[in-house]
Amino acid sequence: MALAHAHSPTQRRLNRQAAKPGRTIRIRIKRCDGPGKPSRWEHFDVKVERGANVISCLQQIAAHPVTADGKATTPVVWDAICLEEICGACTMLINGRVRQSCSCLIDEYAPNHGDSITLEPMSKFPVVRDLWVDRSRAFEALKRIKAWIPIDGTYHLGPGPREPARPQLTRYTLSTCMTCACCLEACPQYTIEHDESKWDASFIGAHAISQVRLFNSHQTGKQLAPDRLDILTGLGGIASCGNAQNCVKVCPKDIPLTESIGAIGRAATLHALAKWFSGPS
Amino acid sequence: MPQQRVIVVGGGLAGLAATIRIAEADMPVDLFSMVPVKRSHSVCAQGGINACNEVARQQGYSEYQHFDETIYGGDYLADQAPVLEMANWAPRIIDLLDRMGVPFNRTAEGFRDLRLFGGSLFRRTHFSGATTGQQLLYALDEQTRRHESEGKVNKYEFWEFLRPIIHDQRCVGIVAQDMRTMQIRAFRADAVVMATGGCGLIFGKSTNSVICTGGAASRCFQAGAWYANPEMIQVHPTAIPGADKCRLMSESARGEGGRIWVPRKQGDSRDFKDIPASERWYFLEEKFPKYGNLVPRDIASRELFDICVNQRMGIGGENVVYLDLTHRDPDYLTRKLGGIMEIYEKFVGDDPRFTPMKIFPAVHYSMGGLWTGYVHGAYDPPQPHGEHRAGGVVPVSTDSGQGMQPGAPENMMTNIRGLYAFGEVSFAFHGATRLGANALLSCIFDGLFSGASVVNYVRECEPGETPADSLDPATFDAAAQHEQSKHQALLDSADAGDMTDETNPYRIGHDLGVEMTEASTVVKSGPRLEQCLKKLAHLRDRYSRVRLSDAAMWTNQSLSYTRALGDMLILAEAIALGGLKRKESRGSHFRTDFPDRDDPNFLKTTIATYDPQSRSTDISYRDVDTRLVRPRPRTYGKIEAEQQHKTGQPVVAK
């Protein structure tokens, strides 16, 4: 997968300033009718509205599903919810690079008349239809690592642990992970797996490792740290990370994923050593 | 003995809080959501969550004042007892979220930090950066995942709610559809909790997520549930207008010092940097010296609308005004408002730490919703109190049960037994305007407080005698069959000839949004609403001939949207009709032909009912519970502009 950013931030700003109003651009979309069906490309010409993003172009196509060569087709299916890059749903490959489509501004990607933008579904997850993929494996990983604080229940028991501002800020940053799976798409070690029974033994992914760091750094949450590290020292755990560092480059929330992998890698080593010395429990 | 179970529809804050509470009581929960619950619309909430806290308390604030502010903010349209209970519970809810690991912003000493928010002069808003909704939702999502792992919760994600199943005048299940396989199925349940959020999509571009069609609420309305105060739609003053939606720019931007202004000279085309302070018009600060930029949302929206639309004073003649934070320290802004600074920069391209944001009002929240009842709690003063002032004697304790009776089965139950409504889809708590940072509170409060009511209803009321599991399958089959036929009719429309704009669902939806935004948001009038109702009838006629452009039997999103569009049109009529019949101005509902509040005639809850035979909506009224505080004029200390000195200095609330 091409990781090189098709457009640098500077280039995107220049593009935005140079964008021609009233232009028409071409959207090339890789489509697929359902699991096991062949993929095909369809091209659409879209008149760019002010402030247009990939979502508004897809909305235009839905309202008028006719390809560039005049053939009637069906509206493109895609996953989208908040359109503010906070829910993580509308993730896809845009010009070969994974990102959310809502925050992808047409002015930045296709400033000139006739420019084109390519949309493809993420490649590491099974396609449901068109640009919509099934990311349940990413959520299953959160269950495996017990991504929660084991509270005593919802009755009133007073406040949580007091926490200085700095660790709070670290936890906040880690806690902004939307499970959008950009990091998984970009990871060479994370490969598509249709067979659910093989998920547990396949690489769990940077998002889950970073969530382990989040929960292990909370006073109550760390009670489950051994269970979490057991998972990460097992098959498909942290040892499967190939240190390509792609994850951190594509994270839309700038979560320090490689830092998390480093920190949890050290914790996992200590955990494994401790277990080794104490013998099998 | 058949297994009893509860269905929760919707996995935002209200739905997840309910799920957790109900599962904790060892009652199995089937949780339905159109999206993975972690992606629910609650993630969009930015600013924070209100609760009395120790710092504010020592300055004279109290839970009771939070209650009083909420009632005053809502222009007395909210039933009062549930609001009192909510305000009393608020500090406990913050503590619980804190225990769940929500990374609330901290002070230097490690206490929870607080910020100022609209409608209050006290810092009583707890926050987590500028993505508080996301952080709260994630905490509840995590606890739900824990219950799911323990087998107490069964998630049905990517399932769409199609209708409640009502048998013997109580709700005994739902019909839902798998949005991928398109399978339609009936599910049994001893109680159903609707937690499906708002209906912003009816207005086209709003701050809502694309799933917030109001379709689920409308389906309950069509099945006989009352829909209360439909006309009460909140327009948020500060949003970024966009091609696909309007993106919220949180009230916390003003809570952290953001100032709203336009150039004093109409059409002034200078760069903002070249306009000196004396030539900037901070109109909110001038008109409302006490609250300044932090007047409630309906008031701010009307002022912005007036500046841009009536006075044509918007920046560069366009419908936008400045929301300016450039006088604040950039690092401070990153720390306190990073999430929204980032949204603005990503979607507009300018960095709001150095360039003022350009914003305009957008539809944001529905105070109206499914009608819900409650059992009055212990506090019942001989006569309602007057205005509560900071530091004054609080007439009631903060014990649980003062406002609402804990665990009473009727709490937040709709007029249909066994059908509950929690969160934004319920009409409770916010009256005619919701105060900022009260939504997250009301959603979680509903789930936690009234979740216990659901459990008690299932164990002790009708379902205890006749569980849904013991009922004749024919009831359920018939309901599923009804939806199957509707589904098929829509699919068949794809083959009915050429598609035209007239019958295109997306065009009808677009026209609906434009009409509703023009006629039924910031400024309304009788003649315009009558025109709107005619337009809606016309749109419904077009919809009766609607044509799908996709006949696929697999993951057909067009079908889902088109079906919801029919339901949106019905709810839109209730919204417009409620607005037409309410011949007064109150909170978010402003009528140019009836600019004053009219308590004798309209201190009443609008109740919309739907008649499936005639396919028409009827409006009636119910009294509002005003037993606790006496209505007073809602002015927020507004003074006339001409009395003001034009100092250009910010008004800082303490």
Choose the final residue of a domain: A132, A153, A170.
Answer: A132
Contact A72 B549 (CB under 8 A): yes
- Are B477 and B466 found together in one domain? no
- Are B321 and B381 found together in one domain? no
- Total domains, chain B: 3
- Total domains, chain A: 2
Q: Report the half-sphere exposure of B364 (CA within 13 A, side-chain side).
A: 30
Nearest CB to B244; choose among A83, A89, A164: A83
- Are A187 and A208 found together in one domain? yes
pLDDT at B638: 86
pLDDT at B648: 40
Establish if B624 belongs to a structural domain: no
**pLDDT (mean) for A212-237:** 97
Own/partner long-range contacts of B309-314 (Cβ < 8 Å, ≥24 apart): B311/B266, B312/B266, B313/B262, B313/B263, B313/B266, B313/B281, B314/B262, B314/B360
Chain A positions in Cβ-Cβ contact with residue B209 (cut-off 8 Å): 81-83, 87
Establish if B28 belongs to a structural domain: yes
Establish if B384 belongs to a structural domain: yes
Establish if A2 belongs to a structural domain: no
Contact B110 A164 (CB under 8 A): yes
Establish if A40 belongs to a structural domain: yes
CA distance B161 to B177: 7
The rounded mean pLDDT for chain A is: 95
Contact A59 B244 (CB under 8 A): yes
> Which tokens go with B506?
């997306």
> Which tokens go with B228?
């209360």
Interface test with B, best of A13, A37, A83 (most B CBs within 10 A): A83
- Are A35 and A104 found together in one domain? yes
Nearest CB to B99; choose among A147, A151, A175: A151
Whether B148 contacts B140, CB under 8 Å: no
- Are B66 and B200 found together in one domain? yes
- Are B464 and B494 found together in one domain? no
Whether A274 contacts A233, CB under 8 Å: no
- R_g of chain B computed on alpha carbons: 24
Establish if B15 belongs to a structural domain: yes
> Among all residues of B, which ones are annotated catalytic?
297
Check if B154 contacts A (Cβ < 8 Å). Answer: no
Check if B178 contacts A (Cβ < 8 Å). Answer: no
Whether B584 contacts B597, CB under 8 Å: yes
Whether B433 contacts B118, CB under 8 Å: no
Chain A positions in Cβ-Cβ contact with residue B552 (cut-off 8 Å): 33, 74, 129
CA distance B44 to B33: 17
- Are B566 and B488 found together in one domain? yes
Whether B202 contacts B213, CB under 8 Å: yes
Handedness of CA B466, B468, B474, B478 (dihedral sign): positive
Return the ∠ at Cα A92 (arms to A91 and A97), rounded to 5°.
115
Choose the final residue of a domain: A80, A109, A132.
Answer: A132
Q: What is the CATH number of the domain that holds B24?
A: 3.50.50.60
Question: Is the pLDDT reported for residue B553 higher than 70?
Answer: yes
- Are B264 and B382 found together in one domain? no
Establish if A81 belongs to a structural domain: yes
Q: In residues, how long is chain B?
A: 654
- Are A118 and A176 found together in one domain? no
With the CA atoms of B614, B619, B625 and B629 taken in that order, what torsion angle do they form, in degrees rounded to the nearest 10?
150
In which band, very low, low, confident or very high, does the pLDDT at B650 lie, cut at 50, 70 and 90? very low
- Are A121 and A225 found together in one domain? no
Choose the final residue of a domain: A116, A132, A148.
Answer: A132
CA-wise closest residue to A78 among A103, A54, A98, A44: A54
pLDDT at B646: 41
pLDDT at A278: 83
The rounded mean pLDDT for chain B is: 95
Q: What is the CATH number of the domain that holds B498?
A: 1.20.58.100
- Are A212 and A155 found together in one domain? yes
Helix or strand (DSSP H, E) at A209: helix A206-216
CA distance B130 to B208: 17
> Which tokens go with B286?
């001038």
Chain B positions in Cβ-Cβ contact with residue A213 (cut-off 8 Å): none
- Are A272 and A164 found together in one domain? yes
- Are B336 and B277 found together in one domain? yes
- Are B456 and B431 found together in one domain? yes
End-to-end CA distance of chain B: 60
Q: Range with the lowest mean pLDDT among A242-256, A266-280, B58-72, B546-560?
A: A266-280
Question: Is the pLDDT reported for residue A107 higher than 50?
Answer: yes
Which residues form the domain of A28?
9-132
Give the nearest chain A residue to B506 (CA atoms): A63
Nearest CB to A168; choose among B41, B106, B557: B106
Nearest-CA distance B164 → chain A (Å): 24
Q: What is the CATH number of the domain that holds B289?
A: 3.90.700.10
CA distance B522 to B518: 8
Which residues form the domain of B393?
6-235+366-470
- Are A122 and A60 found together in one domain? yes
Residue whose entry in the numeric block shows the structure tokens 């099934």: A134
pLDDT tens for each residue of B89-101:
999 999 999 999 9
Residue whose entry in the numeric block shows the structure tokens 């009652």: B27
Nearest-CA distance B409 → chain A (Å): 19
Establish if B336 belongs to a structural domain: yes
In which band, very low, low, confident or very high, does the pLDDT at A133 lie, cut at 50, 70 and 90? very high
- Are B458 and B477 found together in one domain? no
Q: What is the CATH number of the domain that holds A79?
A: 3.10.20.30
Interface test with A, best of B29, B53, B96, B201 (most A CBs within 10 A): B96
Question: Is the pLDDT reported for residue B1 higher than 60?
Answer: no
Question: Is the pLDDT reported for residue A279 higher than 80?
Answer: no
Establish if B631 belongs to a structural domain: no
Contact B103 A34 (CB under 8 A): no
- Are B95 and B204 found together in one domain? yes
- Are B391 and B280 found together in one domain? no
Choose the final residue of a domain: B470, B488, B504.
Answer: B470
Handedness of CA B11, B17, B20, B22 (dihedral sign): negative
**pLDDT (mean) for B423-436:** 98
pLDDT at A12: 85
Choose the final residue of a domain: B361, B384, B407.
Answer: B361
Chain A positions in Cβ-Cβ contact with residue B339 (cut-off 8 Å): 86, 176
Q: What is the CATH number of the domain that holds A272?
A: 1.10.1060.10
| C-alpha B446 chain-centroid distance | 13
Give the nearest chain B residue to A175 (CA atoms): B135
Establish if A26 belongs to a structural domain: yes
- Are B152 and B189 found together in one domain? yes
